Amino acid sequence: MRNIFNNKSTLVAFIIISLLLFSCKKKKEVTDTTPAPVFNGTTYWECVTIELTSDTIFNYYTFSLQQEGNLLVGDIKVRDSVEMINGTISGSVTADSVFINADFSADDLDFSFSGVVDNSSGAMELSGSLQTAETSVNGNDKILLYITQINADAPPQIFDNPYVFRKVSSSSHPKDYSVIFIHGMTGNLTHWDEVIANLTPEFKDKHDVYVYQYNWKDSIAINGRILYDSIVAAGLTNPIIVGHSMGGLVARAYISKGGDISKFVGLGTPNLGTPLARLINLFPFSLFPGPKDMSPESEFIQKLTNNQNDINNRSKYVVFGGQMKGGFKWVKNRLKWVWAEDYYNLTDKVGYNAFNLYGKISNDGLVPNTSALFQGYNVLDRKPILEWVDHRNLRTPDISTEIMDYINNL
């Protein structure tokens, strides 16, 4: 080393190289301080705004966010009357500060949001203030709220179910005691897997168990006729039928054609229809004949209500209904919409808010309580409303324990 530093030119070169290396190192350190992304991949969110003068729901937004550097982009939807309006999201994020603008073709639906990323609840939320033209009196009014991240499943596939009538459990008793489970709209026979897994040995000893899969896109009358043919072909008489949602109407369509039963159990069945079947722009699958049949004004509901076979068998009907709940609460000095339960299904949340088009109607997210409980008509047993349970979870054993207990005691 002593020989090297005695050579002045070598020493100068060494110093220059050292400075360059030091400079590169410092530059790399600056680059490494760039904040890590706040939003990983595509994230999905929901936001409920209210009127300034009351605590009623005003608009219900669902949107996606993607981060590109410090910029945010995404798509957004909001229900406006009976239409679903699409828009775009743009914004930015700096450290934990978030700025978002929503742009719709209708200017009165636009909003801006500024806030911070809040993880204090254990879930990712955006805590801040939102401003819209609709909720602003003088151009400056803002609403303090949370925007909550949701696990957005892929939208339901619009497919044709093959018709299946299948025995899944056998007993040593006569076929008169068979129990048939019928799924709801957009469902299939696998929707009963949890229920069947929770049937007791005593139940299986008493009953043969069947599932019926139908094409929910077809008219309910056709699905009822195929159920009738399937029961006759299997040699069953006087079965017990358990139907969830549209499946209950399929069971009643079977009865209206002269099908015999020993009992019908309806879980959230729209016995008098549901007004959400009118909202084609909100629920695109409402375009199909089966969903259309569930409108209160449909020819199917009108004929079924006055069908003599159906009337004669209502003394064998047992009906259950659920009730979604939620409300605005002050959380850490901010007004936030809080669902009563965190297991509520996203479609049921959208449906619950859509019911505001028809006034304050108690509902499970998709079906009014008056319809599920067949109010105004005589039935064998009208069960108390299951508080806090949404439409989908009426068929979930560990949530609707009363229903599971009732089934096991059939």
CA 357 to CA 292: how far, in whole Å? Answer: 18
Q: Are strands 125-132 and 322-323 parallel, antiparallel or unpaired?
A: unpaired
Cβ–Cβ under 8 Å, residues 369 and 363: yes
Q: Which of 108-122, 180-194, 350-364 has the lowest mean pLDDT?
A: 108-122
Which residue shows structure tokens 């505001």?
356
User: What is the structure's pLDDT at 158?
Assistant: 61
pLDDT the model gives residue 215: 93
How far is residue 249's CA from residue 271's CA, in Å, rounded to a whole number? 7
Please tell me the predicted confidence (pLDDT) of residue 138: 54
pLDDT at 270: 98
Q: Which of 51-60, 105-114, 311-320 has the lowest mean pLDDT?
A: 51-60
Q: Taking residues 211-225, what's their average pLDDT?
A: 94
Tokens 């699958």 sit on residue: 285
* Of the ranges 64-78, 83-97, 262-276, 341-355, the best mean pLDDT one: 262-276
Give the whole-angstrom CA distance, residue 165 versus residue 176.
17
How large is the average pLDDT for residues 147-155? 65
pLDDT digits (tens, 9 = 90+) for 34-67: 455 677 788 888 776 655 444 444 677 888 899 9
Is residue 325 scored above 80 in pLDDT?
Answer: yes
Residue bearing the bigger pLDDT, 140 or 360: 360
> What is the dotted CATH code of the domain comprising 164-324+363-408?
3.40.50.1820
Report the pLDDT averaged over residues 239-247: 98
pLDDT at 231: 97
pLDDT at 281 over 50: yes
Which of 241-250, 300-309, 332-341, 374-383 shows the lowest per-residue confidence on average (mean pLDDT)? 332-341
Distance, in Å, from the CA atom of 328 to the CA atom of 60, rounded to the nearest integer, reads 13
As a whole number, the mean pLDDT across the chain is 83
Percent of the chain with pLDDT over 90: 53
> Is the pLDDT reported for residue 370 higher than 80?
yes
What pLDDT was estimated at residue 135?
54
pLDDT value at residue 21:
44
pLDDT band, very low/low/confident/very high, at 353 (cuts 50, 70, 90): confident
Q: Give pLDDT, residue 152.
A: 55
Q: Grade residue 205 by pLDDT with cuts at 50, 70 and 90.
A: very high
The full set of domain ranges for the chain reads: 2-32, 42-150, 164-324+363-408
Report pLDDT for 300: 95
- Asked if residue 151 has pLDDT above 90, the reply is no
Instruction: Give me the mean pLDDT over the 66-73 stretch.
Output: 90
The percent of residues in the chain predicted with pLDDT above 70, rounded, is: 78
Asked if the model's pLDDT at residue 337 lies above 60, the reply is: yes
- CATH number for the region 42-150 comes to 2.40.128
Position 310 pLDDT exceeds 50: yes
**pLDDT given at position 359:** 77
**The predicted structure's pLDDT at residue 319:** 98
CA neighbor of 321 nearest in space, from 249, 375, 259: 375
Instruction: State the pLDDT at residue 149.
Output: 80
Which of the two residues, 267 and 172, has the higher pLDDT score?
267
pLDDT, average across residues 186-195: 95
Q: Would you state the pLDDT for residue 79?
A: 63
The predicted structure's pLDDT at residue 356: 78
**pLDDT > 50? residue 127:** yes
Q: Please classify residue 265 by burial: count the beta carbons closer than 10 Å to its beta carbon, then call 0-12 exposed, 13-18 middle and 19+ buried.
A: buried
What is residue 249's predicted lDDT score, i.e. its pLDDT?
98
pLDDT tops 50 at residue 162: yes
Confidence band, pLDDT 50/70/90 cuts, at residue 247: very high
Q: Would you call 360 exposed, middle or buried from its count of C-beta atoms within 10 A (0-12, 13-18, 19+)?
A: exposed
- Residue 34's pLDDT is what? 47
Please report the sign of the dihedral spanned by the C-alpha atoms of residue 333, residue 352, residue 358, residue 133. positive
